[in-house]
Amino acid sequence: MTRKFFGTDGIRGLVGSPHMSADFVLRLGWAVGRVLAPQGGGTVLIGKDTRISGYMFESALEAGLSAAGVNVQLLGPMPTPAIAYLTHMAKAQAGIVISASHNTYQDNGIKFFSADGRKLPDDVESRIEEAVAKPFVTVDSRSLGSARRMTDAADRYIAFCQSTIGAGFKLDGLKVVLDCAHGATYRIAPAIFSALGAQVTSLGVRPNGLNINKDCGSTHPMSLQQKVVAMGAQLGIAFDGDGDRVMMVDHNGVLVDGDELLFIIAMARKSRHALHGPVVGTQMSNLGLEQAFGANGIEFRRAQVGDRNVLAMLEEFHGVLGGENSGHIICLDRTTTGDGIISALQVLEAMHTSGRDLADMRTGMHKFPQVLVNVKVREQVDLKTPEIVSAVQAVERRLNGRGRVLLRNSGTEPMVRVMVESEDADLTQQFAENIAEAVRTAASH
């Protein structure tokens, strides 16, 4: 069936819009309960990031699930991957995350994890959509679901993150700057890195419900880059609002993106014969990553954009490592989903083992200049309109096989994403702007 409100990563939108309102989320919670626990009983975990609308949607989901006869455990502000882990460990029917990830506070979203800590399959999401349209029927009072808080959720997740690295691994004396984006990692990340012995300076750890991702975190790393240099720190780590993405900064203040982090982790796995199957990137992965893997005898495959597509390809080809240049990295030999903290720990462990710093480890990959232009639109644009096709063909003729063009409608925001790669930075910018202008023209018709 055609999905009405599920996108590439759950449901996301402007707070107050038809599919991101309190009444809709109430019905959504009820529908989830009816689909995943049709006989009632069972438990669903609910976590959230720090945006102010999370309170409203947490209450709505709790009420809907209770009306369906399902018990609820409330986790409070927790990283998205923490909910995935805790759902599996608690043997719950599902986990729900209230978050719009890297978006600003005006948006929010609902993500789901199945009992095994993985994203819900498409067919289950379709069944939930069907259930939302059915009459809302509350179970008998004696069968209503109860709700309680999981008071040790943070301690459980911290212990799990620490278990993903060697028992003797320490960061003693390492000066690290963390940027938690005023989001879900604001307490947990500093605790983990401090416990490992690092000298931690924290940015973005004062959420007020409105400042999540605002000029900070993995989408806005400029302040982190400046702070690392000013403090003479060895590196910086930036998370996004819900903690499933990570970017890093070397001691020179240079940003190390998801492609480079994926390369570092893959090379470390290869060196100890622990890299199984292909490494999976996406259509947005830099051409330099593909070439670097080829030069080192590592198989590389591209999935469609979106972590669930990366995960599906990893499972199909029995791989353990994949990710996106946005910093969403999946280490299936450590956990079930993208996890910013665990990915950062894998990079730090690779540095520790090799004795090399972050700036040196990134030199094995030469990135092609890549420009991404986000074109805001009112609704999805037909990317096969004549003016867009003509603009793309003109750029591809100029590239003559020495670069790439990729256009796609965003699955999470009203935008068309225009990506161009080539050997010349100035031309890359020009080519991207030419295509973006054609998209704006087509969208205005």
Q: Known catalytic residues?
A: 101
Question: How far apart (Å, rounded) are the C-alpha atoms in residues 436 and 228?
Answer: 34
Strand arrangement, sheet containing 403-409: 370-376, 415-422, 403-409
As a whole number of angstroms, the distance between CA 322 and CA 314 comes to 7
Write the CA distances from 340 to 39, 104, 330, integer angstroms.
36, 19, 9
End-to-end CA separation in angstroms for the chain: 29
CA-CA-CA-CA dihedral for 124, 284, 181, 343, to nearest 10: 80
Distance CA 73, CA 44 (A): 6
Task: Give the pair of three-digit tokens for residue 108.
Answer: 């929010």
Q: How far apart are CA 354 and CA 360, in angstroms?
A: 10
CA distance 407 to 419: 6
What's the DSSP call for residue 52?
T
